[in-house]
Structure 1
Amino acid sequence: MAMLEVTKLGISFGGLRAVDELSMKIEKGGLVGLIGPNGAGKTTAFNMLTGVYRPTDGGIRLDGQNLVGKKPHEICKMGVARTFQNIRLFPKLTVLDNVKVGLHNQVGYSLIESMLHLGSYRKKEQEMDRRALEILKVFDLDREAGNLAANLPYGKQRKLEIARALATDPKLLLLDEPAAGMNPNETGELMDTIRLVREKYGVTILLIEHDMKLVQGICEYLYVLNFGKLLAEGTPKEVLNDPAVIKAYLGD
């Protein structure tokens, strides 16, 4: 059974057909790219996968479970996490606390425990600290744990957002242009980090990306959207040598 199965997915906004009959299948542990020119419908597809938009038609199944009609927080609990093209950290919280926000999905406490700071509250806080630091170490951010997220360099903020998403213990991790705004050295480090995340946590990854070096370097399979429709699919070599893709996305 595929980890993610998308079947003839579509959405209309008034008279605009933003995504039309998109079908994708990603096996457990896969690392797949969704590419295409600006305005092709990639982020709209992510928004349907995470419950931000409800599809007009089609189906989405995660590990056999239907996602259509579920709210974003329900989909998160079912095992889908995402990052955003524009970084959405909590800038006034520390790096550690940003990751702990993601951990509240798994380690929680009651209002009374929180207000009275009971022993159980302190124990759970210590456990979240331990798990958050473990995740930060994977991203080489553990030494930044006490710093405010707003004070991190841009590349590290990108990595922190992925770390926070990973803290929700997802089955499927959606990365929306994770390399946006990074310099070549930062992009290379990000590629290594994404590979390590998949190895260590066994998470399935679907990413939107315009950086073709990153796409070719880590993706095993690609889907190409153009004007909301699936234009091509295949290995990176097959797709990036497809004349239709070159014309629509990479230029003549």
Structure 2
Amino acid sequence: MALLEVKNLGISFGGLRAVDNLNMTIEEGSLVGLIGPNGAGKTTAFNLLTGVYQPTDGTISLNGEKIVGKKPAEICQSGIARTFQNIRLFSKMSVKDNVKVALHNQITYRLAESMLHLPGYFKREKEMDERAGDILRVFDLEQFSETLASNLPYGKQRKLEIARALATNPKLLLLDEPAAGMNPNETAELMETIELIRKQFQVTILLIEHDMKLVAGICEYLYVLNFGTELANGTPEEVLNDPRVITAYLGE
């Protein structure tokens, strides 16, 4: 059974059909890309998968469970986490605390423990500190754990956002243009990081990306959107050599 199944998914905003009849099947453990020109409907598709938007029609199933109609927090608890094209960190919180915020859906304590600082509170705080440290170590961010998120270089802020998403222990991680704004060296480092976290965290990844070198280098399968509809799907080699994709996406 596929981890994620999207069938005939669509959404209309007034007279605009932003996504139309989208079908995707993503197997557990895979790394899949969702590409297309600006305005093709990619981020709208992510918003549908995470419950930010409710579809006009179609179904979304995660591990065989239908998730259409659930709120974003419920979908996150079900096992889907995401990052955003525009970085959304808690800028005035430390790097470690940004990750700890995401751990609260796994490591919890009672209100009385928190208010009175009972032993259970300190035990769980220690667990979260240790878990946050483990995650930050994977991203080579542990030395910045007490740094304000806003003071990190841009590339490291991108990594922190991915680290925070992973802290929710997702089955499926959605990355929305993770290489946006990165220089070539940062992009190459990001590619290595994505491969590492897929194996170490055993997470399935679906990413939106405009950097074709990154897409061709790490993705195993691609779906292409154009004007909200699926234009093509297949291996990176098949898709990136498809004349329809070259015309629509690469502008050639």
TM-score strictly above 0.5: yes
What SS does structure 1 have at the residue aligned with 2:135? Answer: helix
* Residue equivalent to 1:14: 14
Task: Provide the residue aligned with 2:220 in structure 1.
Answer: 220
The superposition leaves residues 137-182 of structure 1 with CA deviations (integer Å, 9 ceiling, x where unpaired) of 0000011001000000000000000000000000000000000000
| Distance apart, 1:56 and its partner CA | 0.3
1:132 match: 132
Secondary structure (helix, strand or coil) at the match of 1:113 reads helix
Q: Say which SS state the counterpart of residue 34 (structure 2) adopts.
A: strand
Say which SS state the counterpart of residue 25 (structure 2) adopts.
strand
Q: How many residues end up aligned between the 2 structures?
A: 252
Distance in 2 separating the partners of 1:188 and 1:164: 21
SS in 2 for 1:231: strand
TM-score, structure 2 as length reference: 0.99
Distance 1:10 1:127 in 2: 42
Structure-1 separation of matches of 2:92 and 2:246: 43
| 1:176-191 pair list within 5 angstroms | 176-191=176-191
Q: Any idea what SS the aligned residue of 1:88 has?
A: coil
User: Are 1:117 and 2:112 counterparts?
Assistant: no
Aligned partners of 2:140 and 2:64: how far apart in 1? 34
- Structure 1 residue 229 corresponds to structure 2 residue 229: yes
Q: Distance in 1 between matches of 2:40 and 2:242?
A: 17
* Deviant stretches of 4+, over 2 Å: none
Query: Following the alignment from structure 2 to structure 1, what is the Cα–Cα distance between the partners of residues 112 and 211?
Result: 48
**Corresponding position of 2:43:** 43
3-state SS of 2:37 partner? coil
2:62 paired with 1:62: yes
SS in 1 for 2:248: helix
Q: Distance in 1 between matches of 2:20 and 2:216?
A: 26
Distance 1:105 1:215 in 2: 31
**Post-superposition offset of 1:106:** 0.1
The match for 2:165 is 165
Work out the CA distance in 2 between the residues paired with 1:251 and 1:91.
37
Q: Deviations over 1:77-104 (max 9, x none)?
A: 0000000000000000000000001100
Question: Residues of 2 paired with 1:105 and 1:79: CA distance?
Answer: 11
Give the Å deviation of 1:109: 1.1
Alpha-carbon deviation of 1:251? 1.3
Which amino acid in the other structure matches residue 50 of structure 1? T
Deviation, 1:105, is 0.8
Shift of residue 110, structure 1, vs aligned partner: 1.7
Matches of 2:209 and 2:164, distance apart in 1: 19
Measure the CA separation in 2 of the matches of 1:82 and 1:124. 25
Aligned to 2:201: 201
Aligned equivalents of 1:109, 1:16: Cα separation in 2:
46
Structure 1: how far apart are the matches of 2:48 and 2:90? Answer: 24
The one-letter code matched in structure 1 to 2:164 is: R
Q: Distance in 2 between matches of 1:104 and 1:213?
A: 36
State the shift of 1:112 in Å. Answer: 1.1
| CA RMSD between the two structures | 0.4
Q: Does 1:174 align with 2:178?
A: no
In the TM superposition, what is the alpha-carbon distance from 1:211 to its structure 2 partner? Answer: 0.5
2-structure distance, mates of 1:250, 1:158: 25
Match of 1:79 in 2: 79
**Matched residues, percent identical?**
75
Question: Could you tell me which amino acid in structure 2 is paired with residue 194 of structure 1?
Answer: I
TM-score normalised by structure 1 residue count: 0.99
Shift of residue 40 of structure 1? 0.2
Q: Distance in 2 between matches of 1:159 and 1:65?
A: 30
Gaps of 5+ in 2: none
